Chains A and B, each alone.
Chain A
């Protein structure tokens, strides 16, 4: 309580005789207007705000604290940082195309210090492939998630905010997309167009938006009824302002949590496509590496195991981060003091 703000507190001037006088002011001694209303001021205003400043800063800071104290989330975060670093450093460490043949085939991991993770059946460096593959996985994962989020946010917020027939139509649309098995839709989309990174990314984004749209819609429906949104309407705010400024910031926590898991599932979908040979043939990805090693599973199992582990750990890391974010941003825990 030694906050300097406390000292700024306006002095409470209270005449005890006046304070307990319920009778109307006497006509012969009219109180000046200022004094009559002097008690309108809230003398504890500063004290209350300093008191709460002491118990906890903003909710964002608190959420960050909770997140940073969560060992699982930190493990996930550290691993993800490693993957990002690998993706960023790949062109520096291995400027050569990872698809080029650099040594004799089937060098086992740990037997040659130049190729710590060995080489594949065509003599390509596995470590170089893993690092470059991280670029593709992350790129597809993040961009596809952004596409899915954007489409899902627009459709979900429109449906949830406006309700009525707009909601009915959009919910039908969401349901139609969701009834199609998403991976088959993905395969069809990629098969129709050329299998390039852009097409794969776009296709993954397209199959993942309905999840976001559903979530955003339900959040918007709940928040739309809150008094501060009703207040915004009563103040004459436009729809766009209400959606973006009033509702969206309050709907964000579950959306953030979901997006980390979406990145993970996008990485899985890309890997699966590449494994099936529907990825970009000119680029190495973790999925295509597994696909290439599939035939040699009995003789050189490391060719599938190493990219497989990369996928498992990355997806796990993203899920751990998602759980950590959920704990940190969940309003149930936000209320604790």
Chain B
């Protein structure tokens, strides 16, 4: 899996007039790899995706960093070149498949639009290709469905259509921003299954942005955990689950009841992370410090560096390696 790097983000900072929702973020995506970016709302994960597509809202500004996509710095490209890249080489799907589809156009129209724009196909060829694509995303009876309007489809089907549009031009990178959050659990499994199959068949890389740690470990090759705009931990999924290092990751894993876990409310309360992500506003040091159970005075003054405790592993917490804290990490997991 250790292929050449397709996307390389370095020190990306996104700034709004009052806040910096993404701060000094760096990560790499290799060809054909699934990278998961995990975080709760307010972590900056969705803005990161928009920054990669250069689709940030007007008030936002990228104040520093580089985004290298197969040798080109996306931040230096002019609008025209970025438009030709979008949809063709980098595609994106969103959480809410209803609002991302135009309600007054048939799904066929919406799929062929991108094909005709980027690939210059004739109307007839584009339609045939669209039917192929609907078949590829496992929509039953695609030659009939192609003339449906979005409201005639269920949520899961709409998300499949969005995926068909996204992969129409065989992008090398697909960014999926909470692709299954609005879907039911049985449909969610189908959509993730589909995304992973397409990743293999079309040999594209996938950035999976989610708040759900369960999804991450099941489908990702590499995981970036974000908190309040910063990367706090990065690991391979197995390692992340077996031995989460950052207090935030550990807190998240402990706070969620798990299906295979025989822990019941009559046995005692769930372990909480106290407070909320709002407390990170105005922190000079580690953004998690106000909620951290092992916070030290030094944490409040200086942003911790990313340490490399093992191969393929990064964590932004020095305290975890201090005497007497490692056993905490290993307990109860």
Q: Identify the stretch in A13-21, A77-85, A121-129, A303-311 within 8 Å (CB) of chain B at 4 or more residues.
A: A13-21
Main secondary structure of the interface of A (DSSP, over half): loop
Instruction: Give min CB distance, B132 to chain A, whole Å.
Output: 40
Say if the beta carbon of B106 comes within 8 Å of chain A. Answer: no
Q: Is the CB–CB distance between B250 and A14 below 8 Å?
A: no
- Chain B hits for A20, CB < 8 A: 250-251, 254, 271, 293, 328, 331-332
Cβ contact within 8 Å between B278 and A12: no
A44 and B263 within 8 A (CB): no
Interface residue A64 (Cβ < 8 Å from any Cβ of B): no
Interface membership of chain A positions 32-43, coded 1 if the CB is closer than 8 angstroms to chain B and 0 otherwise: 000011010111
B275 interface neighbour in A21, A23, A25, A44, Cβ under 8 Å: A44
Asked if B128 CB lies within 8 Å of chain A CBs, one says no
Contacts of A47 in B (CB 8 A): 275, 278-279, 290
> B272 and A48: CB pair below 8 A?
no
Interface size on B, residues (CB 8 A): 26
Residues in A whose Cβ lies below 8 Å from that of B290: 44, 47
In the assembled complex, how far is the CB of residue A98 from the closest CB belonging to chain B, in whole angstroms?
Answer: 55
Does A51 reach chain B (CB closer than 8 Å)?
yes
Contacting pair B271 A17 (CB below 8 A): no
Give chain A nearest CB distance to B270 CB in angstroms: 8
Q: A55 at the A/B interface (Cβ < 8 Å)?
A: yes
CB distance from A199 to the nearest CB of B (A): 50
Q: Does B189 touch A at the CB level, under 8 Å?
A: no
In this assembly, does A95 line the interface, its C-beta being within 8 Å of a C-beta of chain B?
no
Chain B residues with CB under 8 A of A42: 274-276
Q: Which residues of B contact A15 (CB under 8 A)?
A: 293
Bound Cα distance A238, B278 (Å)? 38
Which of chain A's residues 1-28 have a Cβ closer than 8 Å to chain B?
Answer: 1, 12, 14-17, 19-25
Contacting residues, chain B, for A25 (C-beta < 8 A): 268
Expressed in whole angstroms, the Cα–Cα distance for A25 and B268 within the complex equals: 7
A39, B332: Cβ atoms closer than 8 Å: no
Residues of chain A lying within 8 A (CB to CB) of residue B282: 1, 51
Quick one: which of B277-333 are within 8 Å of A by CB?
278-279, 281-282, 290-291, 293-294, 325, 328, 331-333
The tally of CB-CB contacts under 8 A between chains A and B is 67
Secondary structure dominating the interface of B: loop
Write the nearest CB–CB distance from A223 to chain B, whole angstroms. 22
C-alpha gap A248/B254 in the complex (Å): 44
* Contact yes or no, B332 A36, CB < 8 A: no
Q: CA–CA, A19 to B268, complex, Å?
A: 13
Whether A48 lies near B18 (C-beta < 8 A) is no
Task: Please determine whether B328 and A22 come into contact, CB atoms closer than 8 angstroms.
Answer: no
A41 to B275, CA, bound (A): 9
> What is the distance, in angstroms, from B283's C-beta to the closest C-beta of chain A?
10
Q: Which chain B residues lie closer than 8 Å to A12 at the CB level? A: 274-275
Q: Which residues of B contact A14 (CB under 8 A)?
A: 274, 293
Residue pair B281, A51 in contact (C-beta under 8 Å)? yes
A12 to B294 CA separation, bound complex (whole angstroms): 12
B57 to chain A, nearest CB (A): 11
B267 at the interface (CB under 8 A from A): yes
Interface residues of B in 76-111 (CB under 8 A from A): none
Closest to A44 in B: B275
B residues near A43, Cβ cutoff 8 Å: 274-275
Shortest distance between the CB of A248 and any CB in chain B (Å)? 30
Contact A17 B328, CB 8 Å, known A22-B263, A37-B269, A47-B290: yes
B278 touches A44 (CB 8 A): yes
| Docked CA distance A112–B219 (Å) | 90
Q: Give the contacting residue for B272; candidates A16, A17, A39, A55; CB below 8 A.
A: A39
Closest to B325 in A: A16
Alpha-carbon distance between A21 and B254 when the two chains are bound, in angstroms: 9
Minimum CB–CB distance from A170 to chain B (whole Å) comes to 30
CB distance from B11 to the nearest CB of A (A): 26
Nearest 9 Cβ contacts at the A-B interface: A44-B275, A22-B332, A24-B267, A19-B293, A1-B282, A16-B293, A48-B278, A14-B293, A44-B279
12 residue pairs bridging A and B, Cβ less than 8 Å apart: A12-B275, A20-B254, A20-B271, A22-B271, A39-B269, A39-B272, A39-B274, A43-B275, A47-B290, A48-B276, A48-B278, A48-B279
Known: A20-B251, A21-B332, A48-B278. 9 other contacts (CB 8 A): A21-B271, A22-B263, A24-B263, A39-B272, A41-B274, A44-B279, A47-B279, A47-B290, A51-B282
